Structure 1
């Protein structure tokens, strides 16, 4: 299992446009085999910050996502958005325990 998580920082007033623009890619990704979660969420404490959370069943599924047509289209779309920076990491998970 893989978790991809991180933050995207938009330039001032850019967060809403980013979240609107990413929705088609999110919808397509949630239909991909091996994707359990795919979320871009506004940070309630920072008007320019977006939290990213993805849950994949393995590297092959994530690789297929990166090679998808909708990911290629997103890469072009995001070039026109007011993104100031990003920090995104992949975590390889070998066990999971419920906390609640």
Structure 2
């Protein structure tokens, strides 16, 4: 399993615009082969922060979906980013 997690920082006045531009990619990701979860969401405390979380069956599934990344307009809105990819060796179900 692969997890991609982190956050983006955007101007707080542009956050809703950025998020609305992500609706299609979230829908596409959730329907992609190997996608177990895909979330892009506003942070509850920081008005300029957008949290990212993706869970995939494999690295191949991530790469097959990834494409070229954000478009130029969205890319210009990102002030900073901190996103990492994790290879998960095991899982323990908590619920």
User: Which TM-score applies when normalising by structure 2?
Assistant: 0.90
After superposition, give the CA deviation of every residue in 1:14-35 in whole Å (9 maximum; x if it has no partner): 1101100011111111110000
Asked if the contact 1:25–1:74 (Cα under 8 Å) also holds between the matched residues in 2, the reply is: no
Change in Cα spacing, 1:17 to 1:31, as seen in structure 2 (3 Å) is same
User: Any stretches of 5+ residues in structure 1 without a counterpart?
Assistant: none
Partner in structure 2 of residue 14 of structure 1 = 14
Counterpart selection for 1:78 from 74, 78, 86: 74
User: Any stretches of 5+ residues in structure 2 without a counterpart?
Assistant: none
Partners in 1 of 2:69 and 2:5 — Cα distance?
A: 21
The SS at the match of 1:79 is helix
Partner in structure 2 of residue 65 of structure 1 = 65
Q: Does 1:95 align with 2:75?
A: no
User: Which TM-score applies when normalising by structure 1?
Assistant: 0.86
Question: 1:73 Cα deviation (Å)?
Answer: 7.5
Change in Cα spacing, 1:91 to 1:12, as seen in structure 2 (3 Å) is same
Structure 1 ranges of 4+ moved more than 6 A: none
Partners in 2 of 1:41 and 1:73 — Cα distance?
A: 17
After superposition, give the CA deviation of every residue in 1:24-56 in whole Å (9 maximum; x if it has no partner): 111111110000101011110101101100000
